[in-house]
Structure 1
Amino acid sequence: MPDIAQAIAPRQETDDERALRRRSLTLGLLTLTYFFSYMDRQILAILLEDIKADLLLSDTQLGLLTGFAFALFYATLGIPVARLADRMNRRNIIAAALTIWSAMTALCGLAQNFTHLLLARIGVGIGEAGSSPPSHSIIADLYPPEKRAGAMAIYSLGVTLGAGLGIIIGGTISAYYGWRWAMVSIGIPGIVLAIFVRLFVVEPRRGLSDANQLAAQAGDMPSLREGFASMWQMPAARHLVLGVTLTSLIGYALTGWGPTYYQRSFGLSVAQIAMVIAPILMVIGIISGVGGGKVADWVARRWGTWAQSAMVAVFKLIAFPFAVGIYLVDDPTTGIILYGISILFASSYLGPTFALIQGLAPVKLRALWAAITLLVINLIGLGIGPTLIGVLSDLLQPRFGEESLRYALLIVAMATPWAIFHYWRAGVLLKRRDEAPAS
């Protein structure tokens, strides 16, 4: 009798089945978390001129606030957080981190001088260190290699949405109520989101979506030194990290100072940038991110994963002349059109890059590899990029006056071919690896 009852009873859903059934919800919440992360990080872009006038700051100080002061703690703390994420519950780490950085963003609105704002921005960086490495690891466990670039591309929409809506929301609130209320209004909703992340994000089994998942579970956890060594010893991984780092340096520099450039050189108001330009550019960025992920998945099925790196190189090469042209024109409409075209092709790199890195990483080191990548990206890209623009602008100011920012941005944009080379080289190495006979 018990055997009959057991046979007709509904089968219990396994943890693995539950994780896969809810992976779209998990991806959506992780993307929303990344959106808040990037919005809280980049909101200063639209507020720089107001903050400069209120607190009497230099461009170099503004560059430090948007760049190095934030990036130093954000990047370096990512490594210990990743080690925790490779051992502990990743969902809980993300929820706690989201709470911290959202509260610190709100506190930025209370700053009375450069030091206050600097400390609050450091707090934002400390909190955000706990978001991306565990998120990358969860996504890689929920999606198999042939679907991973598309999933990472959706997650990477947090960059486009965060930057775009940060400007739209922050600029609109600032135009009516001032920059301080903009910071508070952006920060508080993230605390509410942290509750939803804790309740609904799935914590999957490590290696769930990989063919070698059973082998991945065996053995001891590699050391931190072994994690760094494993990444450094793989040439394709090195070139991918160099490519995404240079791309990020240029991207953080140009987007972090973009609204200020529109105000100084094109004469646009904060409201015009927030309500007209930012929505258009955000939509283009979404199309680029999602479309780039779809194209990356397609080229991987057609030619192999190496083609994803080649795709990024080609798209960035197409975008380059348009990105440079933004700083060679005086008409705002022409400048925005050029910027839109450059974003359409250049913003598709994140999903394929992180998918390739997660595909190359040993399963037990996925969060650590993500953290190492983010360490380099943010120390060099986010840390140096915006800060470099501020320093260059101040240095060029005696010669070019109000146009010094234009030429500082142009100098940094001209470094794009360097990033293209590393993506091309990574593609060559990945192709060789795929074509090598199995030993």
Structure 2
Amino acid sequence: MVAIPLDYVSPRSKYALVLLTLIYMNSHWSRYLLNYLYAVSSDDPDKSLAAGTGITTSEYGLLAGFGFGVTYVTFGMVMGRAADLYNRCHIIVAGLVIWSAANVLCGAASDFKWLLASRVLLGFGESFSGPASYSLLADFFPPSRRAEANGVYAVGMYMGASMGSFSLSIAMAVGWRNVCYGCAASGLVLAMLLLMSVREPQRVKKLADAACGAPVASPPLPPPLPQLKLTLPQALRAVLSRRLVLAIIAAAMVRYMAGYTIGTFMPVFYGARFPDDADVYSYLNASIIAIGGAVSAYVGGRTADRWAAAGQRRAYLLIPGAGAAAAVPLLAAALYAPSFGLSMAALFAEYLCAEVWSGPAVSALQGALPPGARGTGMGVFALGTGLAGSAAAWAVGAAAQRGSGGSDALRGAVAGGAGAAYALCAALFFGAAMLVRPRKQGYEEIV
């Protein structure tokens, strides 16, 4: 028999990646629905969420940030631990059902209180998905293919945000409540598909030994070593005692501050700055997010894997740092461009540079974590990034409201908040790369 290479990826693993990516897309569509439905420029309560519920700008900031983030980050730690111990596919299915129910509740909401309840429930449901999905990908794919797989998975984030942008136009046609119900229905379909078609992979100590579900090779591979089950204190100690893990999480927290700020306030900024281009913005922004974000995420992950295979394991951290640094002037160009067309062109370039980070950074984090604590580590990651992003959204909203309240005040708050976050993020990723020290064979910190 022909020996199977250790970077082999089975069709089952590829199918699981596609389905998990679609679930991630639905998750981010659900998360960003509020942002875009609130930005609908209409006084019709059937088309505009703002008109239909009467929420204020400050209430919107609370709903977009802490309304979702508190339960998301709180239960993210719990679900991270659950991903180390229980069936991860079942955890994701349960989360999908819960956040689909939250979308139904959002569609039925009549005021701030019901919207807040839907956002709290949405954060609870979505906390089930992230740690379990990243843990599954680490078992489905070998280390040499993980950054590419994480890059493909990150495409779901941008496709979901793109669907959120499309929701502006869809709401004008069918009403904002029906958009919420449609998102919920698609989530339930994905839950059924995952439950019926993806089997929980065997957890192993060294993924290469399992060859990612490969058929038996000749000579036969040794049986996979069972993963050691750590207690919660042991898992937390394993996560928090690694300097590289903490450095990556710190850089990602600052990166999420930029991402939350842009995702929450750019739709509002464009609605105020270029009100005559609202319909064009809906489609163009969706295309920018879907194409720019998806291409950047995939190329970032694939490039990191190639560069690492050539001997530069710091690639997983250097690429995110370079992308964040390049995003600083491009974001400023998008915010201060004199015309709508130039602004959108700069925004597209910003997405192409900034979004290379996710696949390589998550791959570096997966490699730096011990297998028995990956779910817990991703839970800490979700906790830190969610809190940082929510705090940034609240702070930028408060800063904009203290100003004139118009597009100029919002532009200054976004430029200062997101721009500074990008710059600090670049410095932190470059600093984290210095913790990866070369040895005669491999690198000390990333396995």
Q: TM-score, normalised by structure 1?
A: 0.89
Mark the runs of 5 or more structure 2 residues left unpaired by the alignment: 1-7, 40-47, 211-222
The aligned counterpart of 1:137 is 135
Residue 203 of structure 1: SS of its match in structure 2? Answer: coil
Amino acid at match of 2:403: L
Identity %: 27
CA contact (8 A) 1:175 1:270 kept: no
Once the two structures are superposed, the pairs formed by residues 405-420 of structure 1 within 5 Å of their partners are: 405-415=410-420, 416-420=422-426
The aligned counterpart of 1:337 is 345
Q: How far off is 1:208 after superposition?
A: 6.8
The aligned counterpart of 2:181 is 184
Q: How far off is 1:402 after superposition?
A: 4.3
CA contact (8 A) 1:34 1:155 kept: yes
| Distance of 1:85 and 1:280 partners within structure 2 | 34
Q: How far off is 1:215 after superposition?
A: 8.5
Q: How far off is 1:404 after superposition?
A: 2.0
Worse-superposed segment, 187-196 or 276-285: 276-285
The aligned counterpart of 1:203 is 200
Worse-superposed segment, 24-33 or 223-232: 223-232
The aligned counterpart of 1:150 is 148
Matching residue within 264, 287, 301 for 2:295 = 287
| Distance of 1:164 and 1:67 partners within structure 2 | 19
| Distance of 1:266 and 1:235 partners within structure 2 | 45
Matching residue within 354, 358, 370 for 1:350 = 358
Worse-superposed segment, 181-190 or 415-424: 181-190
Amino acid at match of 1:76: T
CA contact (8 A) 1:82 1:134 kept: yes
Mark the runs of 5 or more structure 1 residues left unpaired by the alignment: 1-17
Amino acid at match of 1:238: L
CA contact (8 A) 2:205 2:225 kept: no
Work out the number of aligned pairs and report it.
415
Give the 3 Å change call, closer, same or farther, for CA 207–436 of structure 1 in structure 2: closer
Worse-superposed segment, 46-55 or 107-116: 46-55
| Distance of 2:9 and 2:148 partners within structure 1 | 18
Larger helix proportion of the pair: 1
CA contact (8 A) 1:26 1:201 kept: yes
The aligned counterpart of 2:216 is none
Give the 3 Å change call, closer, same or farther, for CA 410–404 of structure 1 in structure 2: same
CA contact (8 A) 2:147 2:362 kept: yes
Give the 3 Å change call, closer, same or farther, for CA 171–435 of structure 1 in structure 2: closer
Once the two structures are superposed, the pairs formed by residues 47-58 of structure 1 within 5 Å of their partners are: 47-49=37-39, 50-58=48-56
CA contact (8 A) 2:205 2:226 kept: no
Runs of 4+ in structure 1 off by over 6 angstroms are 212-215
| Distance of 1:125 and 1:223 partners within structure 2 | 26
CA contact (8 A) 2:81 2:375 kept: yes
Cα deviation, 1:400-438, whole Å, max 9, x if unaligned, reads: 64432111111112212111111001111113575569x
Q: How far off is 1:270 after superposition?
A: 4.1
Q: How far off is 1:389 after superposition?
A: 2.4
Residue 108 of structure 2: SS of its match in structure 1? Answer: coil
| Distance of 2:225 and 2:73 partners within structure 1 | 27
Amino acid at match of 1:52: A
Cα deviation, 1:233-264, whole Å, max 9, x if unaligned, reads: 21111111111111111111112221111110
The aligned counterpart of 1:110 is 108
The aligned counterpart of 2:403 is 396
